[in-house]
Amino acid sequence: MAHYYSEPSRTFSEYLLVPGYTSPECVPDNVTLCAPLVKFKKGEEPAIKLNVPFTSAIMQSVSNDTMAIALAKEGGISFIYGSQSIEAEAAMVASVKNHKAGFVVSDSNITPDQTLADVIALRELHGHSTIAVTDNGKANGKLLGIVTSRDYRVSRMSTDTKVSEFMTPLEKLVIAPKETTLKEANDIIWDHKLNSLPIVDDNGNLMYFVFRKDYSQHKDNPLELLDNQKRYIVGAGINTRDYAERVPALVEAGVDVLCIDSSEGYSCWQKQTIDYIRANYGDTVKIGAGNVVDRDGFMFLAEAGADFIKVGIGGGSICITREQKGIGRGQATALIEVAAARDEYFEKTGIYVPICSDGGIVHDYHMTLALAMGADFLMLGRYFARFDESPTEKLNINGTYVKEYWGEGSNRARNWQRYDLGGKTGLSFEEGVDSYVTYAGSLHDNLQRSIYKIKSTMCNCGVINLADLQKEAKITLVSATSIVEGGYHDVVLKTANPKI
């Protein structure tokens, strides 16, 4: 007879945190959100720690090198998507590891023969007012000039005016050679009252921009996640098919941690993948595994040697695994059981294997609940897909700005390796959808707002670190009626332009 669980599986929206005593030291500025990323022995420190408990999902529409750099600046880590060629993924990893903090590769580039209409389109696409004019319209082409918002007025110029007629030409620009340090670049910016400084190589090809605003932003990012060579830390996704070819290339590119990207991790193929890494690299290469939703799945992957384990099946906003297969579990229930298994394993072995809550986050308060329920850190897809730094296009749909967002199991991604069960290749049916998410602006501004909410809630609970939150949190189930009570009710909302 099949095993039946006596309780239904629950989602985060069915729980609330109950306040604890808030002491004088419980203020947001005192709260730390540091969390272990990989396993460690009792009494020791993990090889990699997060400064904030956020990772971006292993998805085409979320995690590329741009996202990885932006999130590392904030203290988190991205796992660059693996549903691309080995060479392309390794190149993204190398791009992050080679990135010079403060030196920005231009993503808005144009040729002199293009028009004001093209400038306007580029600005709407990327949101940047500084556009490089190069001979071939590429980021590393020969620099011929720049265009900023001071060079044109849409109301006074024809949109078919050529860029060459209104750009600031090279001879009027202050530029710097490739050997320029960040400190020297910022001194030049301040001495000449510039907003940006192009860095060019010996042949006059554009290499980077250094922006005045980035200097203050660098000062505002004390939690940057860096390795011992002061390079940004980055992760990458792998699958259980081509790991013998993909892993060496990613390690060569400098990846800090890998993660098996799979819809369901309680499988022999995940163990085979971990076995390969341990046989060839020992413990020097860190590897996460998953996803699982119960004690058995966690214990299997922990004993297989995973450095962290992801929790969650079917809870993502673009995931339809539960609809298609009837497989999954409410994210809150899955997380509670796996967290208990992690603590049991730690008590038995002295090895702490961090768990990552992957999916089911709809509201910011769900983040705090997930951490209180035992998650060491969170993996988010939809949340990060909304930002400037995600790799998708920003579109205007019916007057609203959106960004594209699709699942790895959708026909668009066709990431069949993620759903591999050892049989034929190819995607037999969809387990994800193709969609839009409402555009939200910059990662920095939005993430800082979410972090402040988490810190504030932790203070309400009477704790100032995540370990104490997991020990001291009081969590209650809520009824359907109390969920209604928790929102606005029995009022008429004011309209934007009420009639008098």
pLDDT in tens, 439-454: 999 999 999 999 999 9
- Is 26 marked active-site? no
> Where do runs of H (alpha helix) occur along 165-314?
182-191, 212-219, 243-253, 268-281, 295-304
Predicted confidence band of residue 242 (pLDDT cuts 50, 70, 90): very high
Instruction: Give catalytic status of residue 231 as yes or no.
Output: no
CB 143 within 8 A of CB 170: yes
Confidence band of 36 (pLDDT split at 50, 70, 90): very high
**221, pLDDT greater than 90:** no
* 24 contacts: CB under 8 Å, gap ≥ 6: none
SS3 content of the chain, % helix, strand, coil (to 5): 35, 20, 45
Quote the CA–CA distance of 346 and 350 in Å, as a whole number.
5
359 against 496, higher pLDDT: 359
Burial of 218 (0-12, 13-18, 19+ CB in 10 A): middle
- pLDDT average, residue stretch 328-333: 94
CA atoms within 13 A on the CB side of 411: 1
Among 26, 319, 356, 459, which one carries the catalytic annotation? 319
Tell me the one-letter amino acid at 16: L
Phi, psi of 337 (to 5 degrees): -70, -40
Task: Match 């008429």 to its residue by tokens.
Answer: 492
Query: Which of residues 432 and 281 earns the better pLDDT score?
Result: 281
d(CA 372, CA 263): 24
Token pair of 120, please?
A: 């306007």
What residues form DSSP beta bridges with 146?
132, 168
pLDDT cut 70: percent of the chain above it: 93
Distance CA 477, CA 296 (A): 25
3 state DSSP class of 169: strand
Residue 274 has pLDDT above 90, yes or no: yes
Q: Using DSSP, state whether 286 is helix, strand or coil.
A: strand
Residues in contact with 98: Cβ distance below 8 Å, sequence separation at least 6, in sequence order: 231
Q: Give dist(CA 405, CA 407) in Å, integer.
A: 7
Place of tokens 């799945």: 297
Q: Which residue has the tokens 């991604």?
A: 413
User: Which one of 246, 342, 386, 418 is the catalytic residue?
Assistant: 418
